[in-house]
Amino acid sequence: MKKHGTDSTICHALTVDVEDYFQVSGFENRVLRKQWDQYESRVEANTDRLLSSFDLHEVRGTFFVLGWVAERYPALVKRIAKAGHEIASHGYWHRLVYDISEEEFARDLVDSKDAIHNACGVETTAYRAPSFSIVEKSLWALDILIEHGFTQDSSIFPISGHDRYGIADAKREIHVIERRSGSIEEFPPSLAHVMGVKVPVGGGYFRLLPQALTSMAIAKIENERRPAMFYIHPWEVDPQQPRVDDIGRMNRFRHYVGLASTQSKLSRLISNHKFGTVADSIRSHWGDGRKPQLAPDSNTVAV
């Protein structure tokens, strides 16, 4: 299939955060974790829908799987891996990193790693925090990731004005972060300004905005000769999902806007651009020999 774009060497990252509709951060005060087992689960069917679509378009992506999901639906995780996608961690309990202690974070990380390994035999080395919750006050999480063998992270959103996440002046491109415990490659979620509109590439913004705006944002990032990071959740292609009430107007809007059209918008998006896994995308960014050595230089930031 022909892919549009200015630079055919750049491969954008297609990523899925594998969690169920009732596990999102916006519902966490309404749906207690101990109640998760009581909700109708739709994560298998919804993830299978994404898998079929990716298969149809012959594209592979990276699936950040919640440990809780991996433990209960190991066959699903096996199917994702068998289809050639990259398996990564989204934590175990979907706890916001800045809401828990370093010890709790380490435990949650190990539990997710173990659950995923038990499900499909993959040793995860890439991580995305629930709701991009590695922010200024929770950067310590990077040390714990490094200590547990993680080499890639996609949790630091370079955005301002969001109530739950973001480091406004964080780097927008793939970069290496050096910490006291070692180094880790950060591939931040993407955003671009298109026609005066701030367009983050994925999630609720993808459902809310016309697909053309997301495509224009990706093209703009590609014009800067770097790959974009796109993210989606299985529940975002499920307009029939059971409604959770008493969640407040803002959460209701964020969760339910645009569900009916997201599957078709996604098909158009992955037809229009060249996508791959996070590993494919990082390789396309560094190219041959462009990856910086871990001595301080312009691509390296010490935090």
Q: Which residues bind Zn ion (CB under 5 A)?
A: 17, 19, 130
C-beta separation of 41 from 56 below 8 A: no
Buried b (16+ CB within 10 A) or exposed e, 292-302: eeeeeeeeeee
Residue nearest to Zn ion (CB): 17
Question: Considering the complex, what minimum distance in angstroms separates the CB of residue 7 from Zn ion?
Answer: 30
Please state the closest distance from residue 106 (CB atom) to Zn ion, in A: 19
Strands 12-18 and 229-232 come out as parallel
Residue (19 or 111) nearer to Zn ion, CB: 19
Q: How far apart are CA 152 and CA 303, in angstroms?
A: 16
Nearer to Zn ion, 85 or 273 (CB): 85
Six token digits for residue 292: 């910086």
CB of 25 to Zn ion, least distance (A): 7
Closest distance of CB 294 from Zn ion, Å: 30
For Zn ion, the closer CB: 11 or 237: 237
Sign of CA dihedral 16, 20, 23, 27: positive
- Output 65 or 184, the one with its CB closest to Zn ion: 65
Q: What distance, in Å, lies between the first and last C-alpha atoms of the chain? A: 42
**Cα→Cα distances 178→106, 183, 235, Å:** 19, 4, 35
Would you say 67 or 158 has its CB closer to Zn ion? 67
Closest distance of CB 73 from Zn ion, Å: 16
Residue 248 region, left (φ>0) first, then alpha (ψ -120 to 50), else beta?
Answer: left
